[in-house]
């Protein structure tokens, strides 16, 4: 987040923009913070946005590059909350996606099924010896 990724360890695919690392030419999101409304039909707002409007959030743009996070296998709602906290703290846009968003009880059910499957697999491999 502090623009300190080692370019030698992670070489860019394309040429870096001029002034890379100095903050010059940093990307700016067209999406605004604290703006009423939503992309959802009917202009519904999220609970977060309603609470931000009450707190008097300013109409400002996110600064710097976007952070895109995609988790294969599932992401919890608490992890989405952390992404939102990073957005607020760093003033950078975070786009989070996943193959599935799990509630805590769904996550625990999946974990139980995984453990059960692992036990069955180990029993089969030990009886086949």
**106 assigned to some structural domain:** yes
> What domain range includes position 111?
28-121
Q: Could you tell me if residue 23 is inside a domain?
A: no
Distances (CA, A) of 36 to 24, 55, 103, 106: 30, 13, 27, 32
Q: How many domains does the chain have?
A: 1
- 21 in a structural domain: no
In a domain, 80, yes or no: yes
Does residue 17 belong to any structural domain of this protein? Answer: no
Please indicate, yes or no, if residue 69 is contained in any of the structural domains: yes
Has residue 10 been placed in a domain?
no
Buried (b) or exposed (e) across 47-73, using 16+ Cβ within 10 A?
Answer: eebeebeeeeeeeeebebeebeeeeee
Per the confidence metrics, is the pTM higher than 0.85? no
Residue carrying structure tokens 């895109």: 68
Residue 98 within a domain: yes
pLDDT tens string, the chain, 129 residues long: the values are 566 777 788 777 777 766 655 444 455 555 666 555 445 555 555 555 555 444 555 555 677 788 899 999 889 998 999 999 988 888 888 899 999 998 989 989 988 999 999 888 888 887 765
């Amino acid at each position: 987040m502090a623009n300190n990724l080692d370019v030698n360890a992670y070489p860019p695919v394309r040429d870096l923009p001029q002034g890379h690392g100095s903050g010059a030419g940093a990307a700016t999101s067209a999406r605004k913070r604290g703006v009423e409304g939503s992309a959802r039909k009917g202009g519904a707002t999220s609970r977060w946005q309603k609470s931000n409007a009450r707190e008097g959030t300013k109409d400002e743009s996110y600064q710097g590059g976007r952070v895109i996070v995609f988790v294969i296998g599932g992401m919890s709602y608490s992890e989405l909350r952390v992404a939102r906290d990073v957005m607020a703290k760093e003033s950078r846009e975070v786009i989070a996606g996943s193959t599935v968003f799990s509630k805590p009880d769904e996550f625990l059910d999946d974990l139980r099924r995984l453990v059960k499957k692992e036990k069955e697999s180990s029993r089969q491999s030990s009886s086949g010896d």
